[in-house]
Amino acid sequence: MWGRPAHARHASTGPLYVKIVLDLNVYSGEKASVFSGVKASVEALVLTHGSQLLASPLLPSGLIKHVVVLAERHNRPFIASINVINFCNLKCAGCYWSKIERRQQRDEMTVPQGDQLINELWTRGVRQFLFLGGEPMMRREELSHWVQTVADLGGISTIITNATYGLPAFGEWKQAHYMVSCDGDKEGMRKIRGLDTFHDNAPVFDLVKDATYGRTDVVLAMTISNANVERIEPFVRETRTWGIGGIVFSFATPNVGEEQSFYLSDERKEDAVKELLRLKAETGDFIVMSQRAIELLRPAEVAQWHTKCPTYAAVSIRADGKPLERCIFGPEGDCTRCGCNVSTSFVALREGNKETARMVLLPARRAGIA
């Protein structure tokens, strides 16, 4: 999820909380004119510190909703996804980056260009930076510099990687944690990711296990499709023994008009959501998603929220530094069949869901950086 600056860790929540309560009073009552100046400054505070506010266990449901609605009204993002490279060593089935970017000739940002982008996004309110690709660890030197730039600002970096190039040692990159794509147990991974031809044809599953075993700064991400839907429970049972920071799930999202059997039918997706909810009830916070964020992946729920998808909350940037239209799936993604767990988390926050707010910083806490 996303994080708060380390320098604000201990000091900010109490005073901000008091000020926001005051802000709500302003909204609700006759004292509005007296407090209009206070309201403006409180709004600025909320917009600047929205991420850390959401993560506060003290924040009641009404205020969670308020922070998110205020950010939406001001078009203020919480997170940014930045493609740091336009190349990947793997060819995974269903990869949305491959669909929209792999065949595009694109310059990649230089280190100063990346620094400038990070600073601009910080000014707009972004406090968590997701670095991805293609495979971002193929630009390890530049990426390590940008992670330090984010840390110097007081933000958090999330590296989204396939882990075939290994990971920096625990704590080596400041204020950083890792999200590793892992589409099931060995059998699921064989079908989706296969062998890594760049690393002696090693099974990708083995490379992922080697890189992530015992790492509490790692969350594994499984994207569910027809190719691996049978492997959900085996994936949970296997990875629960690894000593990692947890796992998250999403559904493969097709482009408009894509009808391949790779994508789950509504009925099969509904069954998969029920399975996820059962496993969530059994394993608790090992699945680093709230119950509500899982429920919102149901086709009937997607039908309700997709027209009001909170795309403002996450800025997506191509490898050349230009914005990607709308969301990480690009302009062709089929909103009616969206399987994005980041969007369902923001929708749940907009509903004021406290468990989702608790999940905001959990991966960073398990990485020891929040």
Residue 202 β-bridge partners: 196
Q: How far is the CB of 154 from ligand SF4 (least distance, A)?
A: 28
Q: What is the dihedral of CA 128, 134, 139, 145, to 10 degrees?
A: -10
Among 252, 340, 348, 364, binds ligand SF4 (CB under 6 A): 340
Nearer Cβ to ligand SF4 (122/305): 305
Segment near ligand SF4 (CB under 6 A); pick from 70-78, 167-175, 338-346, 351-359:
338-346
Among 1, 67, 90, 163, binds ligand SF4 (CB under 6 A): 90
Q: What is the dihedral of CA 228, 232, 234, 238, to 10 degrees?
A: 110
Among 78, 97, 251, 263, binds ligand SF4 (CB under 6 A): 97
Residues in contact with ligand SF4, counted by CB under 6 A, come to a total of 24
Binding of residue 346 to ligand SF4 (CB under 6 A): no
Among 311, 316, 345, 353, binds ligand SF4 (CB under 6 A): 311
Identify the helix (H) or strand (E) that includes residue 226. Answer: none
* C-beta contacts of 158-161 below 8 A and 24+ residues apart: 158/2, 158/128, 158/129, 158/130, 158/131, 158/363, 159/131, 159/132, 160/81, 160/130, 160/131, 160/132, 160/136, 160/221, 161/132, 161/135, 161/136, 161/137
Binding of residue 64 to ligand SF4 (CB under 6 A): no
- x/- map, 128-147, ligand SF4, by CB under 6 A: -----xxx------------
Q: How far is the CB of 365 from ligand SF4 (least distance, A)?
A: 26
- Residue ranges with strand state E in 42-197: 79-83, 128-132, 156-161, 176-181, 195-196
CB of 28 closer than 8 Å to CB of 22: no
29 Cβ partners below 8 Å, 6+ apart?
none
Binding of residue 16 to ligand SF4 (CB under 6 A): no
Q: How far is the CB of 159 from ligand SF4 (least distance, A)?
A: 12
Binding of residue 88 to ligand SF4 (CB under 6 A): yes
> Cα–Cα distances in Å, from 116 out to 66, 152, 153?
31, 14, 12
342/163 Cα distance (integer angstroms): 21
Binding of residue 228 to ligand SF4 (CB under 6 A): no
Binding of residue 59 to ligand SF4 (CB under 6 A): no
Nearer Cβ to ligand SF4 (23/135): 135
Give, as one character, the DSSP assignment of residue 221.
E
Binding of residue 329 to ligand SF4 (CB under 6 A): yes
Binding of residue 333 to ligand SF4 (CB under 6 A): yes
Nearer Cβ to ligand SF4 (16/297): 297
Segment near ligand SF4 (CB under 6 A); pick from 20-28, 208-216, 329-337, 344-352:
329-337
Binding of residue 162 to ligand SF4 (CB under 6 A): yes
Q: How far is the CB of 262 from ligand SF4 (least distance, A)?
A: 13
Report phi then psi at 100, rounded to 5.
-105, -20
Could you tell me where the DSSP H helices lie in 297-353?
Answer: 299-305, 341-350
Nearer Cβ to ligand SF4 (326/365): 326
Identify the helix (H) or strand (E) that includes residue 316. Answer: strand 314-317
Binding of residue 108 to ligand SF4 (CB under 6 A): no
Could you tell me where the DSSP H helices lie in 74-200?
Answer: 96-100, 111-124, 140-153, 186-192
- Provide the binding-site residues for ligand SF4, judged by CB under 6 A: 88, 90-92, 95, 97-98, 133-135, 162, 181, 253, 306, 309, 311, 326-327, 329, 333, 335, 338, 340, 343
